[in-house]
Every structure is written in structure tokens, then in C-alpha cells.
Structure 1
Amino acid sequence: MTSKEQSQNEASSTATPMSLDEVRAYMGERFAESMSIHDLAQLTGHSPNYFGEAFKKAYGHSVNDYLTELRIRHAKKLLRDSDLYMHEVARKVGYSDEFYFSRKFKKVVGISPSAYSRDAHKRVAVTSSAAIGNLLALGVIPVAAPLDPKWSPYYHYYYQDLIKVRIGSSGPDMSMEEESFRKLLAARPDVLIVEHDHDDDVRKRLMISGIECVRMGATKWQEQLRQIAEVLDKQELCEQWIHTYESRAAHARESISHSAWDDLFVTLRISGAQIYLYSNRGIRDVLFQDLLLQTIPELKEQCNVPITLEQLLHMNPDRMLLLIWPDADTRKFWLSLQHHTKWKGLNAVKNGHMYVIPSNPWFEYSAIAVNRILEETSLMLTGKNPAPSPIPVHGVTWEIPL
């Protein structure tokens, strides 16, 4: 009995048909095996046509596209992290024909597997969490970055074993502790991505060390990404990421329209004993530009304005997103606020449409961060994730989704 037949027999022996989520997980575990939409439909007890349509409606992409995404994602990891020959990589991800694999890879990624393998080893360092997020969107893991379990928990959790050199974040004047600077030089990056201009001394030391310095000068994350992509020759991957994000946003916008389209949204920040109307670049871009959620004019731009409870009650939003500062005084105020009669009288509170959101990723502005904000917003409002794979794939096997 072949492994494929054994897998199908194991799956078909279950007492009940598989759900779509279970089939999707099954594909994730056995993507290297031969499988057709007919095989997968059998696992659900439905016809191939019904199964294919239901899968695309649930996840926003076809069965074959998802299988290809799984295979190409793992092929990228093998090309980056192993010394396997091309035909071995192809076979390990489910392609018996090396040349067909190469054509499929180039169609999806934009460059050939051999070119990807060569470029994947380019050494790039960054000095901020936002720069990590933009670099990862281009499929590049930095050789040095400010990785910290408190200030960048997402990247620390998923990338701590892959980012070998940890340096401190640079300030607005590109100041950096001497120890961090020495670590940076020891990492031997070819390119250093920064958010701010640096002083003459730093510039001279970088130049002497042969490190090209790239400043993310653009204000929109798409242009920041394009700026970096041009330096790293990753333009096709960059446009693919942006296109995929826009497709996800459109899909999420349509899903949200069925349940919350006419609702008034307000985003707030609570710090100390004060409530603020709050909107940063990520909140503005994702919630009020990409998802077109209804809000007040002030929140359609960056905003951090004190507001009284009486003013908030007069506004009376249908849904509220809250960023709560983690210090002790703020927590005491927040605990007491929830018992206030006016707070309990807000529509969002009465209807259970109040969402406490974390600083990470909501304070970060990068390609990865806005994508995560989109995912979290969609999950909060619809229970559906617009991403083609669970958030944890942003760890060792993270890749640009299709």
C-alpha cells in the first residue's frame, strides 16, 4: 500500500467526515504527498465542486492555490536553510519533476529557486522593530536586530533562534550604545536599514566597515517597503506582498460589511486617569482607510486628544477599540472606569462590542504589523482570519502568503 493510500484510508476511517478546518490542517501536515481536490473532497463527504467552492469561500483562495502556497513556502525554507540539491528540494515538497517545480516556483515567487537560494543569504541588519517587519515581508531575516521579549515580543518569540545578533534600538539621532555598535559590526551586514539619519561619526564608521546604510524615509509602509526592496532587488516580492495585502483587505472588508458596516467605531487610549481619542498610522491605514470602518473625522488622521467620559457618551460609539497603558495607575483607573454608570451606558459596552487591543502590533508601523492588525480586526469583528495560514507560520516557516 502506498503512503498516499494509507493516508487516505486513515482519514476515511474516522467516524465523521472532516470539517474544512480539519482538511486544511491535513493538507498542512501532508503537503508533500500527492493529493487532488477529489481526494480531499472525499474526506469531507462532499462532491469536489461543492468542496472546492466551500473552501474558497471560507479561506479566500482555492484548494490548489493553498497547496501550492504550502509547498513553495517549505521549498523556500529548504533553499535558505539547507544544502540540498534542487531535485531533492522539489521531491521533499511534493514535486517529482525538478523543472516543473522550478517553473512553478518562479511563477509564484518571481525569481528562480537558484536565484532565491543565492539572494536569501544576503546579510541585512536593522535598528528597529518596524524595520524587522518590513524586511521579513520581503522574505529576508536580518542578521542583527533589536530583539526584546518586552518591546518586540512577536519577533522575539518566532525569530529568536534565527536572528543571532541582538542589538539595541537606535534613537532619533541614530545614537546607539557602543556595545550594540560593536555587535552590529561583528555581524558583518552588507546593508543596515535605519529609520533616522545618523551623525557623522556613525556614518564614517559604517562606511569604513563597508556597510551600506538605507534610511526608511517614506511615511507610508508601502513606500517604505518599496524603498527597501529596491536596495535588495526584491521588487517583485514587494509588489506581491502589497497586492496580497490589498486582496486580504478587500476580502475582510466584504466580510465585515455583513455585521458592522454601519457601526460607528472609536479607538481610544487610556493612560493614567485620562481617556484619549487615539489613532496612529497603523490604525488609520487599516481600520479607516483599508477597511473603511465608520468613525469620527478626528480619527481618520493621526490623533491623540484627551476626551471626557461625558464627551464619549455624547458620541456613543457602537464599537470601541481600547489601548490600555500597562502601568499600575492606569490599571486602577481602568478597573474603576468599568463600574462607572456613564461608561456602562455606552452602546459599545452594553452590546459587548468593546475590544481591548495590545500595543503589539497596534503601535508598530510596518508591512508585517499592518497585516497583523488586519488579521486581528477581522477576527474580532467576524471570527474569520483573512490570512491563508495561522499566525504561528510567521516563525521558522514564515513566508509571503499567496
Structure 2
Amino acid sequence: MTSRSQFAENDLGSLVVRVKGVDLFSGVDGQKLEQQLATLATIIVPVSGSGELTSDTGTYSLRQDHLHICPPGGTFGIQTEQGSELSVYIASFKLLELQEDEHGDYATANMEQPASLFVRKGDIHVQPAGRAAALCREMARQLGSSDELERLRAQLQGAELVYMLLSTEREGTDAETADALQLSKAYIDKHYYEEITIERLATIAGLSSKYFVDLFKKTFGVSAFDYLTQVRMKQAKQLMLRNELKLRDIAFQVGYHDEFYFSRKFKKEFGMPPSAYIKKRSLKIAAYGSSALTGYLLPLGIVPYAAPLHPKWTSYYCEHHGVDIAVHLDAYRHNLHKQANLDKLAGASPDLIISNPELEPWEKEKLKVIAPTFELPDDCLGWRDKLLELAGRLEQREAAELWLASFDHKARKTRNQLRQFGKRRVLVLKLLKDQLYAHNYYSFNSLLYEELELLRAYPREEGCYNVPLGLEELDRIEADCVLLLICKETETLEHWKRLQQSVPWMSLRIIRENRLRLVPSEPWREYSPIALERMLDEAAGLFSGYRP
């Protein structure tokens, strides 16, 4: 139980809560809210359905009446469970501290550490049931009201929501169990090579063995033993990539004393025996420069030995292939740390480097010293021709043609789905800082107008462009669907919060008629075969009206 002394550093009587926005995310069948930055204190309130939250502190199941806190500067993303629907309120707050000066006058100032109000991480179970969701529903309605008393009511209800969290923090309840489960999960992460029993894990969590087994799977979506296997196999892959170890040594280092049992587990997990995996990775191909290069190698059945990765900017490649990529180059802000990446690449001793043409001359010279280099043509060539050129260099032409045939089949199927809605005129917008732009980039152009044969609502026919648009001009454009890309930097996100609440924005036809769809930078700003395939998977939902 959380003691009162843990709150002593904060004078809660001086706390001022200001609600800045309440958004509703609704998704079906695996749809995502991509990982994004929280510029304000953010409370995530599940309403219905099931899904998963990924934050800086871990991954959590979303359940009704179990709230999650994301502090300013943290990141969070949401994914709907396959075959299910999910609705979640995302409420952002500014937490202020009321201060009295020497004259007895009061003023407010930003709290220096608003996250310190909340002791626990993960989910916080609040009571009474349904109250938090009801508060968010009312706040969302009242914030957009023209009645100032209604807007005042929204602020009072926001304070009530924060009160519910803080009072639950003091009382402890089920959130302490969630913390205990995190401890047992962390124990597996650290001691995976040891003999681990359910009884040991249950003791760490302070639960009975039977209750621990049920609650672990309910909380994390996988049994404790299956999670242990996943951790061990990921570690085994790392050892196979980095060391010249015998299979029995790798098995022993990840917790298996029988190398044949280890081989069976590995094949069951990844669909191939360890020997085949090691042979497949024997040619070390590195990707240097754009993270999109990985999206050209994967269709050829090649996972790069080294590649640019970042948990936020390349989350898909991190999640699905991070464990298979032995050397993680820094992908922050388009290869900002170039010299460090070159040094790391030199230490990896790759057999071949795939790069993009936008590199500086000095980088290209250094790459040639490290290993033979193949420069992928620039985007003007088109993604199909680029893929085939790379396939020719790597002697994987057949793999490329098979992948393209599969992609074309999927594109035809999606086109047929969309035709039942008639020809759709599409407008792509980008919000950067406080300016909206009519936007076109190679990825949008290829998918929307070439593969899906949709119509352009904006008169410019081709090329990459960013043309400033005012709200009045935007309202005159005839578009059946508008895709909005919001740049992930602080000034833009803050302006977006204000814009959504403004009367001119809410008066736009595209807003009143629910024709606006938000699209994330990843994959929509990446021009590669894998990114286009992912965009294609999302297209039917975007244009058929499933998304809010």
C-alpha cells in the first residue's frame, strides 16, 4: 500500500488541473494508433473492447477502468486486438501549482515534475466502474461547447479524474498487483538462462501459483513459460549473429542443457532449425543511410546484418526484425550521428553495403573503404524498378518477382473493395508547426493514384510538393476523403491540439461530415515496398469509413 509520506513532497492543496484536450481513438481488427509523443501529462482511459498499450515503461493490456499515465515527454501507442474493437479516450492535462507571493496574491506556475504525483507505472484500477470513461465522455462534449459554464464544468470534471487517480494511488488496490507482475516479468528478462519455475515467479509477485498463471497471461497476452521461451530465443539469435559458438554452447547460455531440445524449440518458434538460420545469415549485408533500405531488402528474404533503427521512428522494423539485425545503427533524425554509425559499421565488417544516393561524398568514400557498396537509385526511378535493380545485384530476381506478384494480387483485391464506394477523390494534407499544406510524396502518389487508381482532389497532378493551404481554401476543395499527416514535433503537436478545438476547424465540411482520416508518418512517409504493402493493408479501412 502506498503511504501518505510518498505524497508529502507535493502540496496537493495547491494543485491546479487544466484539461487541454480529450480525444477518442476507435479501432478494429489490429488497427493502431502509432507511437507518439505526449507533450502534456496524458491519461489513457479504455472505454470498451480489448487492445494493447505500448509506453516507455512497458507493454500493457487495455482493460476497462484500468487507467494509464504518460508523463510529458513520454511516448505511447495503442493497438486493437485482432478480431476485436477498441475505444479509448486520450485526455491531456496541464498540471499547475498555485503559489502565494509575499502580498498574499496567488498565481499559477507549471509543476516542475508533474509525473512525481503518480507513484506507480502501468495500469491503475479506479472505482467506481465506468466513472472515468463517463467523465471523459462529458469532458469531450463540454470542451467544444460555446457555453462557458459547460467549459468550466469540463475543467471540474478533469480535476475529478485526476483526484480519482491520486486517491487510488494512495489506496494501492489492484495496481500493486500489476507492479508485482512487472517484477516477475523483469526477473525473466534478467535470469532467462537459469532454471525458472512458476512457483519462483509467483513468489516474486506475492501471488498463489494458480492465480499468477492466470493473471500473467491475462495481463501480457502470453503465458509466463511462453514469454520465457521468447526471451531465450531472442537471446539465442543474438549469440548466433555475433559469435562463432557451437550450438550446444548457445543452448547452454540461454538456459537449455539439451541442444536437441533447444533445436526443436527454435524450429517451432521461427520455422527453421538453428543451422539453417545461421547459414541464411552467413552473408552480412548492411543497410546504411535511410531506414527505407530495410524495406527493400525484406521482400528479397534478406534481413540486413546492420541497419538504421530507432524505437520511435522505425518502430515496425524494431518490433518485427530488431532481434535479427545484429548491428543497430542510429536512425535518429535521418542518420544524424554519421561518424558514429560509420565507426560501428566498420567494426561489423559487412560483406556488402547497400546505401542511398543522398549521402555526402565523404560518407560514400568511407563506405568504400569498409566494404563493397551498392547504391540504390534515387526515388525518381520508382520503387518497383529499384527493387528489381537491387534484386539483380543480390541474385534474387525470382524472389523479387514473386513478391511483386503477391503485392499486385493484394492491390487488385483492395481496388475491387474500394470500387463499391465509387471513384474517391482524395486530398492529402500535412500539418507542420501552424501551417497546413496540400502534400504529395512518392509513397502517397504510388499507392493512392497508381496502385489504387483513386482521383486527386487537389489540382496539381504529379511530383512531390507542399503547397500552403488556408482553412477557407481547404473548405472549397471537393474531396471525398482527406488524409492528414501530422509531423511529430512539439510545436506541431501543440498547434494540432488547439486547432481541433477551434470553431473554424470544427466548421469545415470535412470535419462535420467525418471525411478526415489521420495517417501516421510510419509507414506513410516511407517509400519502400514494405511500407507500401503496409499502407495497402490500411487503405480499405481508411476509405471505407471504419476509422474515426
Matches within 5 A, 1:200-215: 202-203=363-364, 205-209=366-370, 211-215=371-375
- Report the residue type matching 1:294 in the other structure: L
1:376 and 2:541 equivalent? no
Q: 5+ unaligned residues in a row in structure 1: which ranges?
A: 1-20, 23-76, 94-113, 385-402
Partner SS for 2:411: helix
C-alpha deviation, 1:318, in angstroms = 2.0
**Which residue number in structure 1 is paired with residue 285 of structure 2?**
124
Q: Which amino acid aligns with 2:487?
A: W
Query: What does 1:270-285 align with in structure 2 at a 5 Å threshold?
Result: 270-285=431-446
Structure-2 separation of matches of 1:158 and 1:233: 25
- Deviation of the 1:168 alpha carbon: 3.3
Match of 2:491 among 308, 321, 329: 329
Comparing 117-126 with 353-362, greater Cα deviation is found at 117-126
Query: Does residue 246 of the first structure (1) align with residue 415 of the second (2)?
Result: no
CA distance in 2, matches of 1:234, 1:335: 47
Matched, 1:216 2:216: no
Who is 2:471 aligned against? 309
Question: 1:198: how far off?
Answer: 5.6
Distance 1:242 1:117, change over 3 A: farther
| 1:366 alignment partner, one of 528, 533, 538 | 528
Return the offset for 1:361: 0.6
> Is the CA contact (8 Å cut-off) linking 2:342 and 2:367 kept in structure 1?
no
Q: Which residue of 2 aligns with 1:184?
A: 345
Q: Shift in Å at residue 277 of structure 1?
A: 0.2
Matched, 1:266 2:437: no
Is 1:293–2:454 an aligned residue pair? yes
More helix by share: 1
Quote the residue 1:150 is aligned against.
Answer: 312
Residue 194 in structure 1 maps to residue 346 in structure 2? no
Whichever residue aligns with residue 351 of structure 1, its letter is E
Structure 2 residue identity aligned to 1:213: T
Deviations 1:306-361 (A, max 9, x none): 01111111114221100112233323332333344443344432222211111111
Of the three residues 492, 504, 510, the one matched with 1:348 is 510
When structure 1 is superposed on structure 2, of 341-350 and 245-254 the one drifting more is: 341-350
Q: Give the Cα–Cα distance (whole angstroms) in 2 for the partners of residues 316 and 201 of structure 1.
A: 48
1:319 to 481, 502, 527: 481
Q: Size of the alignment, in residue pairs?
A: 282
Specify whether residues 282 and 221 from structure 1 end up closer, same or farther in structure 2 by C-alpha distance, changes over 3 A only. Answer: same
Unaligned 5+ segments in structure 2 are 1-81, 84-236, 248-258, 269-274
* In 2, Cα distance between equivalents of 1:230 and 1:115: 24
Are the counterparts in 2 of residues 278 and 299 from structure 1 also a CA contact under 8 Å? no
Cα RMSD of the aligned pairs, angstroms, is 3.5
The answer on whether the counterparts of 1:266 and 1:299 sit within 8 Å (CA) in structure 2 is no
> In structure 2, what is the Cα distance between the partners aligned to 1:171 and 1:152?
11
2:102 maps to which residue? Answer: none
Task: Encode CA deviations 1:109-128: one digit per residue, 9 max, x unaligned.
Answer: xxxxx999856532100012
Cα distance, 1:201–1:266 mapped onto 2, change above 3 Å: closer
Of the structure 1 ranges 363-372 and 322-331, higher mean CA displacement relative to structure 2 is found in 322-331
Pick the structure with more strand per residue: 2
Equivalent of 1:164, from 319, 326, 330? Answer: 326
How far the C-alpha of 1:161 sits from its partner, in A, is 1.2
Query: For 1:177-213, what per-residue CA distance to the aligned partner results, in whole angstroms no more than 9, with x for missing partners?
Result: 333222112222111011126667655554444x210
The one-letter amino acid of 2:438's match is L
Using the alignment, how far apart are the partners of 1:303 and 1:216 within structure 2?
A: 23
CA gap 1:204/1:383 in 2 versus in 1, 3 angstroms = same
Given that 1:316 and 1:346 are in contact with CA atoms closer than 8 Å, whether structure 2 keeps it comes out as: no
Please state whether the residue corresponding to 1:167 is helix, strand or coil.
strand
- The code of the aligned residue for 1:216 comes to L
Which SS does the other structure have where 2:323 is aligned? coil
Structure 1 CA distance for aligned equivalents of residues 394 and 464 of structure 2: 31
Kindly indicate whether the alpha-carbon contact (under 8 Å) linking 2:356 and 2:378 is maintained by their aligned counterparts in 1: no
Question: How far did residue 141 of structure 1 move?
Answer: 0.7
Contact 1:146 1:167 in 2 (8 A): yes
Give the secondary structure class of the aligned counterpart of 1:336: helix
CA distance in 2 between partners of 1:350 and 1:306 (Å): 22
Report the AA paired with residue 338 of structure 2: E
Query: 1:273 deviation in Å?
Result: 1.5
TM-score, scaled to structure 2: 0.46
One-letter amino acid matched to 1:214: F
CA contact (8 A) 1:125 1:189 kept: yes
1:122 partner SS? coil
AA paired with 1:293? L
If asked which structure has higher relative contact order (CA below 8 Å, sep 6+), I would say: 1
Q: SS of 1:337's equivalent?
A: helix
Task: Report the residue type matching 1:233 in the other structure.
Answer: E
- Counterparts of 2:454 and 2:470 in 1: how far apart (Å)? 23
1:364 shift after superposition: 0.7
Identity %: 28
Q: Are the equivalent residues in 1 in contact too, given 2:415–2:452 (CA < 8 A)? A: yes
Going from structure 1 to structure 2, the CA distance change for 1:162 and 1:265 (only over 3 Å counts) comes to: same
